[in-house]
Structure 1
Amino acid sequence: MELVTRSVGIIGTGNMARALAKRLIFSGYKVVLGSRRPEDRQQLLLNDMYTNDVEITAISSCIERNEIIFVALHVEFYSSILVANLDGKILVDISNQTRVKNLNLSNAEYLSSLVPNGRVVKAFNVLPAFVIENDATGGPRRVFVAGDHASAKDAVCSVARDMGFEPVNLGALASSRKMEMYVLTLFPLWRLPFVLMLIVLTIWLVYVVYFYFMYKKVYNWHQIFIHVTNKVLCTSAITLLSLTYLPGSIAAFIQIFYGTKYRRFPEWFTGWLSSRKQLGLLTFSIALIHSLMSILVMSPAYYMSWYQPTNIIVRRNFTDDQYFPLKPLMIWKGEAASLFGILAIFCMSVLAVGSIPSVGNTLNWREWRFLQSSLGYLTLLLAVIHVFIMATPNWIKLGFPKMLYSIGFVSVALPVITLILKFAISLPCVNNYVTKIRIGWERAKPSPQI
């Protein structure tokens, strides 16, 4: 039985057009490239490995010979395709906007207005050319697809799957506005977490510098690069970890207060809830740096209270050089604090790996909930124990109320509050009530008095 080769047209000969052509040919398609100057472009493609497998023709011929046509042109040149009958043709628009603006009309919608009898589908605009061309890049695999014609979208999705990509249907062609804006926005989900991280780091930097350089005056400026900075990272990491899990408990109490899940949260709180993944990843990065810095300075000179004291007595009647080899060992405080710190960073590593889409997609709902909720709170608990082991002896030494101003006590206050709120919500009576609300039950409002 002879294999039937499917044909696809591509209008344009730029980087994206050549990348699509190569990938389509490797996927078993015959490719026809349409160009305004096909003779000149033939010379441009001589060095490409697929030159013998692709045909370069005029735009009109490319359109006439193919049902599915990729429009790999800038929006300014869309009028150049109006040289042939486009009725019923599937036009795949892969273009993007050149600058961020409020879109009233996307490129795909503009193309659809030029060819009202054609079937325009927006796709492949979020993938760079090198990802399309090279299967070994490890780049994104999803292809977002939008269009007003179901059969045309199905055909484009089938082509995307043949090319080894995962099509995602985003609905009508109007969704192309968000698709075109998506590639121009710079880390939209990371802005709030990044600002929160900077605020927390700044607050702790000011407090640590004041506490150790102005109030207690125990450090000199030579130690600010590693030892003092490490204290800022330590306190910032546990604060950010608390801010990652605190909004979930607050949301539950808000729903309990109003007795419904249908009352919308404030916009700032919704942004906080939706950015918890990014905030958690930033927390992990800070905690990892804190761990590395702690290894650098882990010695009796910096952590005196972690090691056994060593006393050296030199008698006055010695006339020769004396050697005193020192082998200070960690006491229980140092080993326990190190243990719980290691466990906390290990759990955070598991959480970070679980947030990778390729890993998260393999988890069912219960597994995902266990990782992102149960394991997350366990991580916070381990971090709190780590701080308590390090700081409690100093609290006892300082006594009340001086202990309230110590770095350890201030840094652990918010995490403890977060754990208490979670414990309160986990109580059966409270948890059952929240569950009822979240499945749609609403508390009856009192009838007005007449």
Structure 2
Amino acid sequence: MAGVGENANKRETICIFGTGDFGRSLGMRLLKSGYPVVYGSRDPKNTTLLPSGAQVFSHAEALNTSKIVFLAVHRENYEFISALSDQLDGKVLVDVSNNLKMNQYPESNAQYLSQLVPKANVVKGFNTVSAWALQSGSLDASSQSKKNKTMQMSKVLSWRLDLYFALGMLGFALYVLLGITSLPSVSNSVNWREFRFVQSKLGYATLLLCTAHAAVFGWDRFLQPKWYRWGLPQAYMLGIVIPCTVLVLKLILITPCVDKMITRIRQGWERVPKDQEVPTHVNNSSLA
């Protein structure tokens, strides 16, 4: 009974003609799936690049081990197939080739193979799959399901992303508004108070939003040494140095004590030396 079970679980050997990129990738994927793989090659001694676990024989010897044959060679190299017509009798021959150009031949490669080996069951398949896809396993549903794990979304990362995009969109909108008001046709149609408000108040608001946008992008990276490659700060850190300096200086200028003094200077006030000060009161004794 044990022997019957082993025979039932034993998978059929697959034969592959062609040891190029696609043939090697297909053999590697079949071996990982548990199928024995036998290669048919013109040079059976050259097994350097073939996947581990596969066997290599001549074309005729490889056909004796399998009923399913994958033909992974170009049409220009089909000349050896005709000599194997009798051995391919009743076997499944899978053509995986593609021509270099559309309508390059009057018939398809599978039709041409049916003419060369009429006793074989020629089918077309795997011609839309690349060798890279077979090697990387991107088409393997079982491996993809293991990789696709559901990760819990961090609340901090969630509101950080929302804040990042919100600041960026608002800053860009105000930046566009500043650009429009700078046009001569627009600036000439507004009074100086409106122009000053847009270029000054909204200008600093735009600078603040854009700087905050860049700061939220970096977040706490400036505190982590791993982000300082070769001891150099990242580009976003250098990009916010001047805006932060401008904002800090502006913050100093709008403090009440400084702003009051600047307002007086703008209104024409000048500091008079003490020796040139005019007395603002009259002595009571002189009035008597």
TM-score using structure 2 length:
0.49
TM-score using structure 1 length:
0.32
